[in-house]
Amino acid sequence: MKKYPLEFKVNGKKYSVEVKPNMTLLRLLRSLGFTEVKSGCEKGDCGTCAVLMDGEPVNSCLTLALQAQGKEITTVKGLGTIEKLHPIQEAFVKYGAIQCGFCTPGMVITAKAFLDKNPNPTREEIREAISGNLCRCTGYQKIVDAIEAAAKKMREGR
């Protein structure tokens, strides 16, 4: 199958690659080494493959790589650093919102996009926001606790 040129950025770094038209963004990101973007259902059901595309959350398994032309992709690793975690990442650790961790990259990305739009959400709104992200371990309570705490911290500018 013919390949097409694609230029895009991931976590601030520019990439120029050639991809087949049927390659998904998920497969491309993982092949470039961004294995923090998890492959779950690959059908749009679980949300663990979520990344930000120009600030908007997308399921990368349902996004063709070529749709990223000229766009800026942010994975969970692009949100903070080991030395300085993003407040959402910090809260997930602090509140025990991570067990096996498989859902965590997508949860954190979804939470980031959500809090950017709604910095002072109710717990119900948080539950609604993460309803497309499945977690088989935590029962969601601690995830909601973490997002609520991160929102507070972000509002206070800490």
**Where do contacts with ligand FES occur on this chain (CB under 6 A)?**
39-42, 44-49, 59, 61, 98-103, 135-138
Q: Compute the least distance from the CB of residue 15 to ligand FES, in Å.
A: 21
How buried is 43 (Cβ within 10 angstroms: 0-12 exposed, 13-18 middle, 19+ buried)?
Answer: exposed
Shortest CB 79 distance to ligand FES, Å = 18
* Six-digit token string for 56: 């908007």
Which residue bears the tokens 């910095």?
119
Q: Which is nearer to ligand FES, 49 or 79 (CB)?
A: 49
Distance from C-alpha of 44 to C-alpha of 41, rounded to nearest angstrom: 7
Closer of 138 and 149 to ligand FES (Cβ): 138
Find the shortest distance in angstroms from Cβ 65 to ligand FES.
14
**Which of 79, 135 has the CB closer to ligand FES?**
135
Strand-by-strand arrangement of the 56-59 sheet: 13-19, 4-10, 72-74, 50-53, 56-59
Between 5 and 96, CB nearer to ligand FES: 96
